[in-house]
C-alpha cells in the first residue's frame, strides 16, 4: 500500500515534543503545557493533533485523528470542485482558409472562451505555403478582433517553425460546462416555445377581421359561423 501523505503531514499525541501548545476549540484558544493538553485529550477520548507547527507556540486541536483527516480530505475535495479548470483549446487554420471554415472555427473558439478556457489558434504552413505568412498573420489578427468581446490577446501572432501562433484568454471567469443532455433539453424547450409562438401567431392571423368581441373570443368554427349568419 502507498503511504498516506496526508496522514504523515501532522504530528499527533506523543509525536508533539514542544514544551507548550495552543489548544483551539469552539470556545476559543488556550496556551498550556503539552503534557496537560495530552492528559485532556485522553480524558475526552480524542487525539491531540498539531495543525500549525510553525506558530509560536504550535497550534493543536483536540479531535479524533481519523475524523480530522476525513474533514481535511472533504475540504480539499470541495475546494477543488469549486475551482474552474482552465484548458487550452487548439484551433488550426491553413493560410488560405475559406470563409465557411473560418466561421465554423470562430464559433467553436467563442464557446471555448465563454466556458473559461484559453484558445491557442495557429496557422500551419505546409511546404511553399510559408510564402503566405503575412496572409496567415492577417487571418489571426482578424480572428482576435472577432473574439474581442469574449477573449483578450495574451500573445500576438508569432512564427514558430512552420506554425504561427496566437494565444487568447477568456475575459470572464469560466462557467461550468453544461452536459449534452442539458443542452439537448434546453434546445427542445426553445423549439417548443417557438412552435407555440408560431401557432399563436397563426391563430391570430385567422381571427375574424371585424374586430370587437369576435376578434378576442375563443370560440369554435361552428359557433363563429352561426354568429356570422345571425349578423347577416
Output the pLDDT for position 167.
95
Q: Which domain holds residue 145?
A: 88-170
Output the pLDDT for position 171.
87
157 and 93 part of one domain: yes
Is residue 4 domain-resident?
no
Is residue 198 domain-resident?
no
Contact criterion met (CB below 8 Å) for 130 and 94? no
Is residue 45 domain-resident?
yes
Is residue 181 domain-resident?
no
Indicate if the pLDDT at residue 209 is higher than 90.
no
Domain stops at, among 71, 99, 119: 71
107 and 151 part of one domain: yes
Is residue 158 domain-resident?
yes
Residues 125-135 have a mean pLDDT of 79
Output the pLDDT for position 185.
66
Burial class (CB in 10 A: 0-12, 13-18, 19+), 224: middle
Is residue 51 domain-resident?
yes
CATH value at residue 152: 3.30.110.10
Work out whether the CA dihedral 16, 18, 20, 23 comes out positive or negative. negative
DSSP 46-80: -EEEEEETTSSSPEEEEE-HHHHHHHHHHHHHHHH
Is residue 122 domain-resident?
yes
Closest listed residue to residue 109, CA positions, set 95, 124, 93, 130: 93
Is residue 166 domain-resident?
yes
Domain tally for the chain?
A: 2
154 and 99 part of one domain: yes
56 and 96 part of one domain: no
State the chain's mean pLDDT as an integer. Answer: 79
- Is 8 or 52 the better-scoring residue by pLDDT? 52
Residue matched to cell numbers 453544461: 178
Indicate if the pLDDT at residue 34 is higher than 80.
yes
pTM given for the model: 0.41
Amino acid at each position: 500500500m502507498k503511504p498516506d501523505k496526508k496522514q504523515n503531514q501532522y504530528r499527533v499525541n506523543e509525536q508533539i515534543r514542544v514544551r507548550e501548545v495552543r489548544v483551539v476549540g469552539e470556545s476559543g484558544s488556550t496556551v498550556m503545557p503539552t503534557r496537560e493538553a495530552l492528559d485532556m485529550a485522553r480524558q475526552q477520548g480524542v487525539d491531540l493533533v498539531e495543525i500549525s507547527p510553525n506558530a509560536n507556540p504550535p497550534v493543536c486541536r483536540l479531535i479524533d485523528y481519523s475524523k480530522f483527516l476525513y474533514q481535511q480530505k472533504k475540504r480539499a475535495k470541495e475546494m477543488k470542485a469549486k475551482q474552474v479548470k482552465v484548458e487550452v483549446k487548439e484551433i488550426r487554420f491553413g493560410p488560405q482558409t475559406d470563409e465557411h471554415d473560418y466561421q465554423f472555427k470562430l464559433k467553436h473558439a467563442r464557446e471555448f472562451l465563454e466556458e473559461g478556457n484559453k484558445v491557442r489558434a495557429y496557422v500551419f504552413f505546409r511546404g511553399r505555403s510559408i510564402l503566405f505568412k503575412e496572409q496567415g498573420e492577417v487571418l489571426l489578427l482578424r480572428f482576435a478582433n472577432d473574439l474581442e468581446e469574449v477573449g483578450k490577446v495574451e500573445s500576438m501572432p508569432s512564427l514558430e517553425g512552420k506554425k504561427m501562433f496566437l494565444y487568447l484568454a477568456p475575459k470572464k471567469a469560466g462557467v461550468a460546462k453544461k452536459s449534452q443532455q442539458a443542452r439537448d433539453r434546453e434546445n427542445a424547450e426553445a423549439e417548443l416555445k417557438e412552435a407555440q409562438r408560431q401557432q399563436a401567431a397563426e391563430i391570430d392571423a385567422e381571427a375574424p377581421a371585424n374586430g370587437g368581441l369576435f376578434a378576442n373570443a375563443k370560440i369554435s368554427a361552428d359557433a363563429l359561423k352561426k354568429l356570422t349568419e345571425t349578423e347577416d
